[in-house]
């Protein structure tokens, strides 16, 4: 670790057991809370499904932090999102039927429109219709169905997240998604602490990260690294990303810079070899599935800049897929082991020595909601 | 829904969120209780096994609402029922050995007779025999082994339930039994609310129930319906029950009447096309298995009147079996979904609009035992 | 049961519901506790693995009463035992890498030596190394890796247990080990109460144990039996132990004596036909795996005296293995049924009539630790 870290090191914060660079404020409500129990803040747009998972005329059962949600795609019309329960007997609307622009419960046929209003009970007069169910603001972008699970009044003035290079035709994008049995915070820390290259020693060869510095604001923590290969060969998957095969012992040039940023609640990783445009960009978010938020689904967009001869990237794609799958599996195994340890220990025993991770932990703690009582 | 319902509608009852036709009394102890936590009343005869499940000289482990019970059938002699534990080290007597008219624990050989008395400890003097275990009143009728789990003093003066047409040679009877993961109350409501034909739209075609009225007493709630086919063909299974194939769009004649009655704790469904004898009768009871009563076993006797040419019914039987299995599977899936919703919501969010179901809920609540503390 | 038992019967002890022959003292802290919740005392040597399970240069994840422990065998050097967690992010060191005489965490590469000290964080200066993890005293003997999970100061002056005949070349030893889902106390009682021969009636034929008497001290309870065959043939497995096939109805001679002793926390069973040396000796201990101690792993050494023609024993060995496996399976099934009953009943309903078992229960209760609050 370089002296540069020390220079960057943040001021003190008792609650976090960390010394963040950010100023405090209302967020102090979460001071001292166990980070692994801090709930993700619902006032953001979260992807709950890939667009391709929901066919026209069908429903899809998803969830956000324990709230069951049904996504409905009418044959003609925009996707909408409701509480996944019928107001009558609480069975899942996702087990029902799409009828026009409504979803009809499969049990007694009660129907609901996109606003959640009950529009029909087949055996009851229209004047007597009961109350409906909650509707969630819902959008579709870049192949994802996003929902705003928080205060609906805030949805209109909260922009969708920038989805990075995935909209730029100069890039080819791979969608990564998997359920992982851990709190979302483990994922942020995993990606930002590049010293964990040791975990990937079998996939990546021996790479030594060099920490270049960190930045932080109230909403964001960022770390920059360069890399030196200290042993082993450059893997094919890495070559696929960089568009060329480098010589042994050379690998990632020391001038290449990797930037990892958590801009709450999203995370990005970009690699720049020179110039303005990154050669690779990952946009990723970890969406809690259960009420305890001990399990999440990962939605990631991994975009690779197309090389001058585009077919080269297509040819290398299967290698890249295999490479990222293997890396991801190692990461998943280790973060699930962290969660299991937290479950067994009943508290966060983390003993962090890396200042940028301490700043990240502070960000996640102060931007989230305090643990449920 | 017809105006007749309104005329039938019961007087107010705060605790139920329903307006029952029945008068109150001691049962008020359960007022306000979550129906899905109301325990079934033990002072009735409940089938715990089919007779054919217990061979001579063998034991069978069953349970009633979390109480483990062993049924014992001596090679010569009547079935008896005991607590399924040895008084010594609590291992299950059902894992033991039938010896004469006793059951012997498989561990150290302690023996118990039909009254639960310990009659032998192989390595102990007769004068020192320890206390035994509880015995339950036990009867066998219509292919079922019935046990009285409540106050044994009441057993002698509590008649066995009428088991309907199953004893009448003019009927052929099918025995239906399956474990279902839900509180018994969901089953009563499912069967009595015929508006749930929507659930069976794939099996039954489109049938519109017409509610004819309801009756209720302290012990009983009853609903009557006729049916009109509004689309689709009459299924073969339905034809098997009615003994003839009707024309399209005709189906169940509007003069046919279906009566569903809960006579606590049993339920019956009868179909009459004319005359005194029903063409079909179902007798059914839902026996809780676990202490929370979130799981039960269904014991049903489905009796079909034999047609003038009896072979016709035998020939149609496999179709009837398949038909009832499919209907039952749809019902089981939906009531298990209701239970799952109750588990997740932690309370009964039911929003009932159908008065006969509200009366039924009141009956089940007031005739059962208050939830365990 | 003979009058001899009565003569042996111990003085009263309120807390145990038993009348032990032993004097009380500090152990009285456990008086009245539910035996099935009494924690085994950690100030003894416990085997946590067989030596053959841990290859050079590898780690092995084990546990003692809910404490995760990693056993590490360097390529050169003695086995050592640490808490199975990295001090940094709590992932299991057993998922890491053995490097020289250290174990290195697989995530960020932190390294620990046999004393638990953190000796390297690859990206941190040596002067800043964080605290390490707990080390456990660890020994290897008779094919087992033993750990002292209690007060480390006591380890040096606590001798390893005598491992019986397993070190004597006059015996051939079989290692028995299996996870069993029950509290260790059920195992002690199972082995000592030979009236449970009824359980093994299919394997052993009909054998009637004759209780010869008991002895007890503060640390030990012992029972002595002889046996008479009352029916069935002597099984081959039994013949393998006694080195000869006896006639029907003869079997175990009444002069043969079986002694079962619990010398806390270990248990032994020896059979002597005459003379000084036993023909068979079993040394066994039941090591709790989980914090509730509802599950344990059995480590047993079953030693058979080699007959004058040694090949006879080798030839009979497969029969002996099968025989002991079958016996063990019956015992495991029944003790797991006892534990399941305890779980369901929520307390120890044991109604013991055999004084030596009551003395044993008292020993286990007073030598263990009081249940966790």
SS3 of A58-114: EEEEEEECCEEEEEEECCCCCCEEEECCCCCCCCCHHHCEEECCEEECCCCCCEECC
**Cβ-based contacts of B89 with chain C (< 8 Å):** 338, 341, 350
Cβ separation of B1 and A124 shorter than 8 Å?
yes
User: Chain B: nearest CA to A213, how far in angstroms?
Assistant: 46
Other CB atoms within a 10 A radius of the CB of residue C28 amount to: 12
Burial classification of residue A12, based on how many CB atoms lie within 10 Å of its CB (0-12 exposed, 13-18 middle, 19 or more buried): exposed
* Per-residue model confidence as pLDDT tens for chain A (373 residues): 333 333 233 333 333 333 333 333 334 344 578 999 999 999 999 999 999 999 999 999 999 999 999 999 999 989 999 999 999 999 999 999 999 999 999 999 999 999 999 999 999 888 889 989 999 999 999 999 999 999 999 999 999 998 878 888 899 999 998 999 999 999 999 999 999 989 998 877 777 888 999 999 999 999 999 887 666 666 666 666 655 544 444 445 556 899 999 999 999 999 988 767 899 999 999 999 999 999 999 999 999 998 888 787 888 888 888 888 999 999 999 999 999 999 999 999 999 999 999 999 999 999 999 999 7
Delineate the domains of chain B, giving CATH numbers in brackets.
Answer: 3-34+161-367 (3.90.380.10), 54-136 (2.102.10.10)
pLDDT range class, residue C254, cuts 50, 70, 90: low
pLDDT one-digit tens code per residue, B203-233: 777 778 889 999 999 999 999 998 876 666 6
Among A306-310, B6-10, B123-127, B329-333, name the one with the lowest average pLDDT: B6-10
User: How is chain C split among helix, strand and coil, in percent rounded to 5?
Assistant: 30, 30, 40
The answer to whether residue B292 neighbours chain C at the CB level (below 8 Å) is no
Nearest by CB to B1, from A85, A90, A123: name it: A123
* Residue C308 CA from chain centroid, whole number: 31
d(CA A225, CA A247): 21
Residues 199-218 on B with a CB inside 8 Å of C are none
Q: Is the pLDDT of residue C4 over 80?
A: no
Residue A242, token pair as written in the block: 């960089």
Cβ separation of B351 and A88 shorter than 8 Å?
yes
Cβ separation of B95 and C337 shorter than 8 Å?
yes
Cβ separation of B195 and A108 shorter than 8 Å?
yes
Please report, rounded to a whole number, the percentage of residues in chain B having pLDDT higher than 70: 84
**Cβ-based contacts of B68 with chain C (< 8 Å):** 344
Q: Which of A67, A89, A289, A292 to probe by mutation at the B interface, max B CB count within 10 Å? A: A89
- The answer to whether the CB of B165 falls within 8 A of the CB of B173 is yes
Residue A131, token pair as written in the block: 């109350």
Query: Which 3 state secondary structure label does DSSP give B264?
Result: coil
- The dihedral of CA C317, C321, C324, C326: what is its sign? negative
* Kind plus residue range of the DSSP H or E element containing B311: helix B310-345
pLDDT at A30: 46
Cβ separation of A199 and C95 shorter than 8 Å?
no
pLDDT one-digit tens code per residue, C7-29: 233 333 333 333 333 333 334 34
User: Chain C: nearest CA to A299, how far in angstroms?
Assistant: 23
Output the CA angle C250-C254-C260, nearest 5 degrees: 120
Name the pairing type of β-strands C206-216 and C220-231. Answer: antiparallel
Q: State phi, psi for C128 to the nearest 5 degrees.
A: -115, 15
Q: Is the pLDDT of residue C92 over 80?
A: yes
Cβ separation of A95 and B345 shorter than 8 Å?
no
SS3 of A110-166: CEECCCCCEEECCCCCHHHCCCCCCEECEEEECCEEEECCCCHHHHCCCCCCCCHHH
Cβ separation of A199 and C107 shorter than 8 Å?
yes
The answer to whether residue A319 neighbours chain C at the CB level (below 8 Å) is no
Cβ separation of B338 and A121 shorter than 8 Å?
no
The answer to whether residue C1 neighbours chain B at the CB level (below 8 Å) is yes
- Beta bridge partners, B304, equal B172, B280
The answer to whether residue A91 neighbours chain B at the CB level (below 8 Å) is yes
- Tell me how far CA of residue C249 lies from CA of B13, C205, C206, C254, in angstroms: 76, 10, 10, 12
- Cα separation of the two ends of chain B: 39
Chains that touch B (3 or more CB pairs under 8 A): A, C
pLDDT range class, residue B21, cuts 50, 70, 90: very low
Residue written as token pair 């609640």: A265
Cis peptide before C69 (omega within 30 of 0): no
Task: Number of A to C CB contacts under 8 A, please give it.
Answer: 54
**Cβ-based contacts of C109 with chain A (< 8 Å):** 195, 198
User: Chain C: nearest CA to A182, how far in angstroms?
Assistant: 13
Nearest residue on chain C to B88, alpha-carbon basis: C351
d(CA A182, CA A184): 6
pLDDT one-digit tens code per residue, B74-116: 999 899 999 999 999 999 999 999 999 999 999 999 999 999 9
- The dihedral of CA B321, B326, B327, B329: what is its sign? positive
pLDDT one-digit tens code per residue, B301-337: 999 998 888 787 888 888 888 888 999 999 999 999 9
pLDDT at A28: 37
The answer to whether residue A5 neighbours chain C at the CB level (below 8 Å) is no
Cβ separation of C91 and A341 shorter than 8 Å?
yes
**Cβ-based contacts of C350 with chain B (< 8 Å):** 88-90
Output the CA angle C296-C301-C305, nearest 5 degrees: 160
Nearest by CB to B199, from A87, A90, A107: name it: A107
Output the CA angle B344-B348-B352, nearest 5 degrees: 130
Nearest residue on chain B to A92, alpha-carbon basis: B337
Q: Which of A35, A36, A199 to probe by mutation at the C interface, max C CB count within 10 Å? A: A199
């Amino acid at each position: 670790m370089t002296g540069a870290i020390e220079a960057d090191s943040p001021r003190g914060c008792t609650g976090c057991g960390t010394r963040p660079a950010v100023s405090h404020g209302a967020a102090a409500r979460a001071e001292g809370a166990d980070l692994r129990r801090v709930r993700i803040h619902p006032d953001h747009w979260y992807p709950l499904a890939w667009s391709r998972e929901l066919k026209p005329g069908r429903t899809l059962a998803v969830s956000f932090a324990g709230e069951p949600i049904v996504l409905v795609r009418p044959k003609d019309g925009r996707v909408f999102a409701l509480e996944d329960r019928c107001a009558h007997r609480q069975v899942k609307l996702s087990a029902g039927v799409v009828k026009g622009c409504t979803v009809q419960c499969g049990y007694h046929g009660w129907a609901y429109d996109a606003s959640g209003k009950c529009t029909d009970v087949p055996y009851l007069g229209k004047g007597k219709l009961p109350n409906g169910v909650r509707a969630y603001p819902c959008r579709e972008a870049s192949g994802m169905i996003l929902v705003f699970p928080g205060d609906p009044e805030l949805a209109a003035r909260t922009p969708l997240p920038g989805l990075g290079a995935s909209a730029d035709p100069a890039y080819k994008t791979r969608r990564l998604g998997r359920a992982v049995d851990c709190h979302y915070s483990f994922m942020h820390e995993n990606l930002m602490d590049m010293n964990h290259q040791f975990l990937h020693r079998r996939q990546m060869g021996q790479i030594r990260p060099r920490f270049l510095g960190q930045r932080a604001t109230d909403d964001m923590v960022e770390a920059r690294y360069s890399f030196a290969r200290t042993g082993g060969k450059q893997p094919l998957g890495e070559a696929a990303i960089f568009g060329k095969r480098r010589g042994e012992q050379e690998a990632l040039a020391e001038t290449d810079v990797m930037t990892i940023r958590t801009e709450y609640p999203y995370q990005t990783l970009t690699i720049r070899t020179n110039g303005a445009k990154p050669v690779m960009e990952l946009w990723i978010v970890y969406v809690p599935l259960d009420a305890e938020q001990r399990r999440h689904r990962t939605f990631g967009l991994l975009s690779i800049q197309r090389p001058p001869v585009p077919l080269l990237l297509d040819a290398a794609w299967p290698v890249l897929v295999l490479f990222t799958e293997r890396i991801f599996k190692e990461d998943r195994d280790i973060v699930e082991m962290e969660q299991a340890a937290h479950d067994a220990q009943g508290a966060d025993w983390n003993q962090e020595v890396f200042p940028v991770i301490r700043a990240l932990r502070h960000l996640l703690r102060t931007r989230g909601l305090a643990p449920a009582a």
